[in-house]
Amino acid sequence: MEKIGLKMIVNGTPVSVEVSPFARLLDVLREDLHLTGTKEGCGVGECGACTVIVDGETVNTCLTLAASMEGKCITTIEGVAANEELHPIQQAFIDYAALQCGFCTPGLVLSAKALLDKTPHPSKEEIKVAISGNLCRCTGYQQVVEAIEAVANR
């Protein structure tokens, strides 16, 4: 099948890849760009483990055609820490023990980042809404909410 040329900016770096017309953004990130921090949990847009930020908005990459990303600016979990320095949200997840198995953690961190980038001081309810698309089976979300609140209250 004929491939499509795709140019996008991933974690601040322009990338150019050849993708099949039906390729999901998830597969292009994981298989072509080797950014395996973006996870597949369900493949139907329910669990949010594949969350990335596209031009400031969170998207489920399992439901996003890669070909639709032409010219878009994408942040994956690998692009959240700058120059080996953890982002305050990442540090708060560590400080508040807001992770267990960690499989949903990249998606949760990115949902929290998208929220705080737009709304630096959200209410607890806003935090819960912002991460409601990220299923976590380990934590019960309590320490996750505490971690995000701690960053929001700074």
9 or 146: CB nearest other proteins: 146
Point out which span in 53-61, 64-72, 79-87, 113-121 binds other proteins (CB under 8 A).
Answer: 79-87
Distance CA 75, CA 55 (A): 8
Min CB(147)–other proteins separation in Å: 10
Q: What string marks each residue from 126 to 145 as x (binds other proteins by CB under 8 A) or -? A: -xxx-xxxxxxxxxxxxxxx
> Helix 105-118 vs helix 88-95: angle between axes, to the nearest 10 degrees?
130
- Based on its alpha-carbon atoms, the radius of gyration of the chain, rounded to whole angstroms, reads 15
- Asked if 44 touches other proteins (CB under 8 A), the answer is yes
- Please check whether residue 19 is in contact with residue 83, taking contact to mean a CB–CB distance below 8 angstroms: no
Q: What string marks each residue from 109 to 128 as x (binds other proteins by CB under 8 A) or -? A: x-----------------xx
Return the residue of 6, 25, 39, 60 that touches other proteins, per CB under 8 A.
39
> Helix 142-152 vs helix 88-95: angle between axes, to the nearest 10 degrees?
140
